[in-house]
């Protein structure tokens, strides 16, 4: 920004230094010029001084008379200045002075024009410089604003990325927590299932013990009533399906009932020759199967497993004519031919 003094009018060019000195030198040169012109004109109009000469001729050789004394030198008259020539010289001097003054004024005018042109050019240059500076400042400001906007966008992107990462971490933590809870719930469910299975097994074992104790009591009671040391009852399954034994003897038709219950559950597609498996069964009075184990193998483990699965699929076992299932009995199984 261009700063001007307060006492200078903005449209008036600044005053140039040394102007008085220039005018003084110009006046001195005019005076010297007039002096030289004046003396030059008088020097050219002066009358040249006369010259004297003596002519000698050859005369006879006679004694020369004594020369007469020279006459006195004539007094030269003072040169007279013509008034007309003086007027002409004065007019010429004035003309030359006027011409010199006019030339000086013209030179001063040209100098002033050049100075004004220089000042205008300087003003234009200053204006252009100010415009360039303003444009540069605007460009710098715009660049700074763009950089600030870019920095703000980058900051927002970083914040968004941080939020996204935080949300992702929270989701992962929640997922891990849910997985941990699910694993804990599964472990607890497994523990509860194991506990329930253990309790069921214990209950079944206790029920089996209780049933066994009841069977023994009934058996002891029956032995006491029979008056002998003990008695047994066997039920043989026709066709090799099964036999029953226990404190309460199975009826003759109970083996046929067991055969009809177990036979549809046999799934076997292998060889049938010479296969016979004996399975020992323990049941509750209601027919609930308490245990089933292979007491005599056929030598073919696949058929033994098929026979054991058939017995297990037959739970509950049929009840006898007295409305109860024998506590224990054996079943002899052969594949259908």
Domain count, the chain: 1
Per-residue pLDDT averaged across 257-283, rounded? 88
DSSP string, 229-295: S----EEEPGGGS-EEESSSPPPTTHHHHHHHHHGGG----S--TT--EEEEEEE-TT--EEEEEEE
Residue 258 falls inside a structural domain = yes
Domain of residue 299, CATH code: 3.30.1150.10
Residue 298 falls inside a structural domain = yes
* Mean per-residue pLDDT of the chain: 77
Q: Is the peptide bond before 93 cis (omega within 30 degrees of 0)?
A: no
Structural domain harbouring 270: 233-333
Residue 183 or residue 162, greater confidence = 162
Model confidence pLDDT, tens digit, residues 119-128: 999 999 999 9
Residue 153 falls inside a structural domain = no
CA distance 63 to 66: 9
CA distance 36 to 288: 163
Which pLDDT score is estimated for 70?
Answer: 65
Residue 318 falls inside a structural domain = yes
Six-digit token string for 75: 């007094």
Residue 183 falls inside a structural domain = no
Provide the edge-to-edge strand list for the sheet that holds 234-236: 234-236, 243-245, 328-333, 277-283, 289-296
Which pLDDT score is estimated for 135?
Answer: 93
Residue 118 falls inside a structural domain = no
Residue 194 falls inside a structural domain = no
Per-residue pLDDT averaged across 149-174, rounded? 90
Residue 310 falls inside a structural domain = yes
Residue 114 or residue 248, greater confidence = 114
Note the pTM of the prediction, 2 decimals: 0.30
Which pLDDT score is estimated for 239?
Answer: 33
């Amino acid at each position: 920004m261009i700063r001007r003094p307060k006492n200078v009018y903005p449209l008036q060019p600044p005053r140039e230094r040394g102007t008085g000195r220039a005018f003084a030198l110009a006046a001195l040169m005019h005076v010297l010029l007039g002096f030289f012109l004046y003396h030059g004109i008088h020097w050219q109009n002066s009358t040249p001084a006369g010259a004297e000469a003596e002519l000698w001729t050859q005369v006879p050789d006679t004694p020369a008379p004594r020369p007469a004394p020279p006459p006195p030198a004539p007094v030269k008259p003072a040169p007279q200045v013509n008034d007309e020539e003086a007027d002409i010289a004065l007019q010429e001097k004035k003309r030359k002075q006027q011409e010199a003054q006019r030339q000086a004024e013209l030179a001063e005018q040209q100098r002033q024009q050049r100075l004004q042109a220089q000042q205008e050019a300087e003003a234009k240059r200053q204006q252009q410089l100010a415009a360039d500076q303003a444009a540069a400042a605007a460009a710098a400001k715009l660049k700074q604003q763009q950089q600030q906007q870019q920095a703000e966008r980058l900051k927002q992107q970083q914040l968004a990325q941080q939020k996204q990462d935080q949300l992702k971490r929270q989701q992962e933590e929640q997922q891990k927590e849910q997985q941990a809870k699910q694993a804990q719930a599964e472990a607890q469910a497994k523990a509860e299932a194991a506990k329930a299975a253990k309790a069921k097994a214990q209950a079944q074992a206790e029920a089996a013990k209780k049933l066994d104790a009841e069977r023994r009591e009934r058996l002891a009671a029956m032995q006491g009533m029979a008056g002998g040391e003990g008695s047994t009852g066997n039920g043989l399954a026709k066709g090799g399906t099964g036999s029953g034994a226990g404190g309460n003897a199975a009826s003759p038709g109970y083996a046929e009932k067991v055969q009809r219950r177990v036979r549809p559950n046999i799934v076997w597609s292998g060889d049938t020759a010479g296969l016979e498996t004996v399975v020992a069964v323990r049941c509750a009075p209601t027919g609930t199967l308490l245990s089933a184990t292979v007491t005599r193998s056929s030598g073919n483990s696949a058929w033994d497993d098929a026979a054991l699965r058939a017995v297990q699929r037959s739970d509950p076992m049929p009840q006898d004519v007295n409305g109860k299932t024998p506590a224990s009995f054996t079943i002899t199984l052969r594949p259908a031919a």
